[in-house]
Amino acid sequence: MQEKLITIEIDENGNSSVDLEGFHGQGCGDVAKDFRGGDAVTQSSKKREFYAQAAAVKQSQQRT
């Protein structure tokens, strides 16, 4: 199973962003929330895995 990795990048002005690998769906938001809670992350972006999961959920809902 792919390890879930989080990369926090802090730029030269102290602004930070989060990059996630191996996460699916809501897991992305939970991690971003963890770091944002301490004001450690000012930007976050969702990777392809998040959108793949979201699309699968949408398709499933349309079928029902």
Choose between 7 and 60: whose C-beta lies nearer to other proteins. 7
Choose between 13 and 64: whose C-beta lies nearer to other proteins. 13
Choose between 15 and 55: whose C-beta lies nearer to other proteins. 15
Q: How far is the CB of 54 from other proteins (least distance, A)?
A: 20
Binding-site ranges for other proteins (CB under 8 A): 3-16, 31, 34-35, 37-41
Residue (of 35, 33, 27, 28) closest to 9 by Cα position: 35
Report how far residue 52's alpha carbon sits from residue 16's, in angstroms, rounded to the nearest whole number.
25
